[in-house]
Structure 1
Amino acid sequence: MTVKHWSKMQERGNQFGMQTLLFAYRVLGRKGLWIVLFPVLLYFFLSGKTARLASLQFLTQVNHYNGVDKQATWRDSFRHFRSFADSAFDKIDAWLNRIKQSDIVYTNEALYKQLDEQSQGAVFIGSHLGNLEVCRALSQHRRSKAINVLVFTHHAVEFNKILQRINPAVSVNLIQVTDLGPDIAILLKEKVEQGEIVVIVGDRTSSSSAGRVVECDFLAKPAPFSQGPFILAALLDCPVFFLFCLKDRSEQKGVFYRVVFEKYADKLVLPRKTRQQALQTVIADYASRLAHYTALYPYQWFNFYDFWQNDHTVIRDQKKGK
């Protein structure tokens, strides 16, 4: 049986809706907007069968991974949807400068400071766990190398255009791509050599080509991970970091954002003779770190589709007219 690829799933929302969201947020504030949007969130939850079932599957798998023999419930899934909606408000807060330096806790901050002082750029491999958009907006608090973010959906581009109208000072360049071809690699190589940062997510398979994946254990179950981001990181010949931005809470600080930098390699090397084995190793390492943080923050996992689906059986974007 064939199923839809993540890139084929309709993006629920449009530019007018996003602009309305921003206007209402500024007028009503966060708590007020939540009251207004709650029925909308409930509608999306009830009508979004594919996303809802994927959420239940994922949360159940996390339970098993964490040693809890329990099936996720609709209540758990709705909490998952609510967390996703709340993450949109976090993005707006970041662009409106409502997130202060005291609200941020950096893991291995010295690594970023060291990178910031160097002339060379780097690759940050992120994911759809947590909120990378908050990381990008928070770059304004620093000396700030220019940040180039590869995105794979039109929705992401439009939402970030609206956010950048709020605060044009945020130095973020969005590059929409459908595939990681040679032209993109050349462009990004130039940017890295100029000392800029390239951010790409490692947890989405190719929207155009099936089979360009490596299967790795993720939450105790084999899942397909795209080779593209890791091959690109090797081609750019620069330091490679894993990056996570997670919303957290403590009695002392209340709500805060945990930004995790993990340096993986000074340069990612994929020898020609052992390329597949080297790819398997680096992607398995990434999947392991992703699983570690996903198990700790499951409700901040924003891949609402069957993440473990067979990459060869999903229907991808087709050329117009076919």
Structure 2
Amino acid sequence: MSADANPTPTRSWSTTPERSNLLAIRTLAWIATHLGRSVARLVLHPIALYFLLFAPAARRASRRYLGRALGRRAGWGDLYRHIHAFAAVALDRIWFAAGRTDLFDLQISGGAVMEQALAEGRGVYLLGAHIGSFEALHAVGLSRRQLPVAMVMYPENARMIHTVLQALAPHFDVSIIPIGQRGSALAVRDFLDKGGLAGLMGDRYMPDQAVQEGAVQLSFLGRPTPFTDGPVRLAMMLRRRVVFMVGLYRGGNRYDVRFEELADFRQPPADPAAREALVLAAMSDYVRRLEALCREAPYNWFNFYDYWHEDAAA
């Protein structure tokens, strides 16, 4: 592990405009809600083919990632499967938002971890990644306890899809707690204290100076990769246990939802060096789990941009 003092990306995920078109999303959403999930899934094929053919940057990023996750060169079939999985998961947000768990086969593991955390009455601090579906967690919350769910994220991210979901499912309760603003940490603390589920994603690195100072370089899929340790440090500051969550898409209507304890910061040590060691251990464990998931379900990881900053070096 070392501080990432010299990042070189010329374009990051935060500056890459969303390719998705609001009219296209609304059209697909209309088909989904009026004609059903089966018909809407048929429309995914031409959509995935379009992006495969006419989104060269996303295609290049997918090929590089899949080559590392699969351990071989990714072919056109692999690229199509990757893009189609992303489209399928995005489509299913509509039904998860409406709480239609009856449409899905949800296999849930680690429920005892969640129950134990919820029993403390301080909410649950969840750390995930852009792999599979976070909305699967929302569906579990709705079906079990009517638990409020919030995503701690940059508010500009995925704004269009959330706008459509709010219009189609007025009871869609996934709140957004903006990150990187004054009062963000207090907002997360207050939401958790009310018994909510607060989810953060830890697999995207912001290449601005504020985050550079809090980045660690770890091996991920065989490459040194910068990760921000902000979510882990926030959990320590709020004295929370951290639950790792993932909702893997298994094809069709099947999702594999898992909860695992990642770290426990309820009583952090007073010694600064010991606290730093805990942060590094949690980050290393997080990346190890993420790498294992990428190898287990390679088509589930949805970061279609120059993740390892290879375009700049080319």
- Alignment TM class, shorter chain as reference: 0.7 to 0.9
SS in 1 for 2:36: helix
What aligned pairs does 1:244-255 form with structure 2 within 5 A after superposition?
244-248=246-250, 255=253
Q: How far 1:207 sits from its partner (Å)? A: 5.7
The corresponding residue for 2:224 is: 222
**Change in 2 beyond 3 A, CA 1:119/1:17:** same
Q: Is the 8 A contact 1:116 1:144 kept in 2?
A: no
The corresponding residue for 2:68 is: 61
The corresponding residue for 2:295 is: 295
SS in 2 for 1:200: strand
2:46 aligned with 1:48, yes or no?
no
Q: Is the 8 A contact 1:157 1:176 kept in 2?
A: no
> Could you tell me which amino acid in structure 2 is paired with residue 41 of structure 1?
A
> Could you tell me which amino acid in structure 2 is paired with residue 10 of structure 1?
P
Q: How far 1:306 sits from its partner (Å)? A: 2.8
What aligned pairs does 1:1-322 form with structure 2 within 5 A after superposition?
2-64=9-71, 70-100=72-102, 103-152=105-154, 154-177=156-179, 179=180, 181-206=181-206, 208-209=208-209, 211=212, 212-248=214-250, 255-267=253-265, 269=268, 271-309=271-309
> Could you tell me which amino acid in structure 2 is paired with residue 126 of structure 1?
G
Residues 234-286 of structure 1 show CA distances to partners (whole Å, capped at 9, x for unaligned) of 1121221111011226xxxx842211111123326475235544332211110
Q: How far 1:155 sits from its partner (Å)? A: 4.8
> Could you tell me which amino acid in structure 2 is paired with residue 304 of structure 1?
F
Query: TM-score when scaled to structure 1?
Result: 0.84
**Change in 2 beyond 3 A, CA 1:207/1:146:** farther
Q: How far 1:101 sits from its partner (Å)? A: 8.8
> Could you tell me which amino acid in structure 1 is paired with residue 145 of structure 2?
R
Q: How far 1:127 sits from its partner (Å)? A: 0.5
Using the TM superposition, name which of 267-276 and 55-64 deviates more.
267-276
Q: 2:114, 2:184 → 1: CA distance? A: 25
What's the % identity of the aligned pairs? 30
Q: Is the 8 A contact 1:246 1:259 kept in 2?
A: yes
Q: How far 1:90 sits from its partner (Å)? A: 1.6
Q: 1:34, 1:277 → 2: CA distance? A: 46
Q: 1:136, 1:258 → 2: CA distance? A: 14
- For the aligned residue pairs, the C-alpha RMSD in angstroms reads 2.5
SS in 2 for 1:136: helix
SS in 2 for 1:16: helix
Q: 1:101, 1:119 → 2: CA distance? A: 31
User: Which runs of 5 or more structure 1 residues have no equivalent in the other structure?
Assistant: 65-69, 315-322
**Change in 2 beyond 3 A, CA 1:153/1:39:** farther
Q: Is the 8 A contact 2:177 2:188 kept in 1?
A: no
Q: 1:256, 1:39 → 2: CA distance? A: 22
> Could you tell me which amino acid in structure 1 is paired with residue 97 of structure 2?
W
**Change in 2 beyond 3 A, CA 1:107/1:245:** same
User: Which runs of 5 or more structure 2 residues have no equivalent in the other structure?
Assistant: 1-7
> Could you tell me which amino acid in structure 2 is paired with residue 47 of structure 1?
F
Residues 4-46 of structure 1 show CA distances to partners (whole Å, capped at 9, x for unaligned) of 1111111012333322221121233333334445333322222
Q: 2:21, 2:65 → 1: CA distance? A: 27
Q: 1:41, 1:94 → 2: CA distance? A: 21
The corresponding residue for 1:67 is: none
Q: How far 1:200 sits from its partner (Å)? A: 0.4
SS in 2 for 1:3: coil
Q: 2:172, 2:192 → 1: CA distance? A: 19
Q: 2:205, 2:46 → 1: CA distance? A: 33
Q: How far 1:118 sits from its partner (Å)? A: 3.0
